[in-house]
Amino acid sequence: MTGPTGVEDLPPLREVIARHGLAASRALGQNFILDEQLLDRIAAIPGALDGERVYEVGPGPGGLTRALLRQGAEVVAVERDRRCLAPLAELGAAAAGRLQVIEGDALAVDEAEAVGPAHIVANLPYNVGTALLVRWLGGEAWPPWWRSLTLMFQREVAERIVARPDTSAYGRLAVLAQWRAEPKLAMKVHRSAFVPPPKVMSAIVHIVPGPRPEGVRAADLERLTAAAFGQRRKMLRRSLQSLHGALEALDRLDIDPSRRAETLSIEEFVAIARELGRSEPQPPR
């Protein structure tokens, strides 16, 4: 961690929120965390960030942003709530050039272009969290532009990301998160830590890129999991019947088509996707 940066001299976050008349917006999926010790613990999850670039989505009044700056990170934050731009500007002035704020919708940002290689650390707005995660986990380019993901979700969503086969939480999100990355549940966060308290508990998932299995396209795995888990209570012979080549792939791999999607391992999904890809031309990597 670096020495004094000016961030430590800022007034308490609760005072900043009151001075700017801020209130968390339900429409934007906002819930603020004011406990600076908790925020420091969250900012420490990715490991040493001194001199590292961090991308934050939805910083709000800047609680987690402060913690990241205290870790010595250079932060690029995207915020669509114009009410939060003034307190973020104050934080940027105190951080002596280590905070860049992009006003806009995170779903519309070209992160690889605007941010470059970075760790992503965010208390994600609940209404866009899953969509952002699926985008960050997708695409054919691997390793990805991000170095690690440290993300706050509703606890139910977090458990789906790290779920193992043959459990009620296991589904498409688990496969997409685990086939070429390593997610773990890093911290549970009680609803009372937020202002206002959400109706659900939260948890933080930490994800690092892993090796990409050879001969598998992300697009094939995405199509496969969408079909398999779109009708998860049905046997594979029914849920995959509309996916060209899928039943033949099951036969070649000696996978019983009477099984259901939640019983297949990550490795089995990868093997099926590889078979699907063999019948189609591979795009340049």
Lowest average pLDDT, out of 10-19, 36-45, 96-105, 219-228, goes to 10-19
Give 5 or 119, the one with higher predicted confidence: 119
pLDDT higher than 50, residue 80 = yes
| Each residue's pLDDT tens digit, 220-254 | 999 999 999 998 889 999 999 999 999 999 999 99
Name the segment(s) of the chain with CATH classification 1.10.8.100: 218-278
Angle at 95 between CA 91 and CA 101, to 5 degrees: 60
**DSSP states of 82-97 as a string?**
GGGHHHHHHHHHHTTT
CA distances to 97, 154, 221, 278 from 239, in Å: 53, 28, 15, 21
Q: What is the second-level CATH architecture of the domain 7-209?
A: 3-Layer(aba) Sandwich (3.40)
**DSSP states of 185-198 as a string?**
EEEEE-GGGEESPP
8 Å CB contact between 180 and 210: yes
- In the CATH hierarchy, which fold is given to the domain comprising 218-278? Helicase, Ruva Protein; domain 3 (1.10.8)
Q: Looking at residues 12-34, what average pLDDT do you find?
A: 79
Name the segment(s) of the chain with CATH classification 3.40.50.150: 7-209
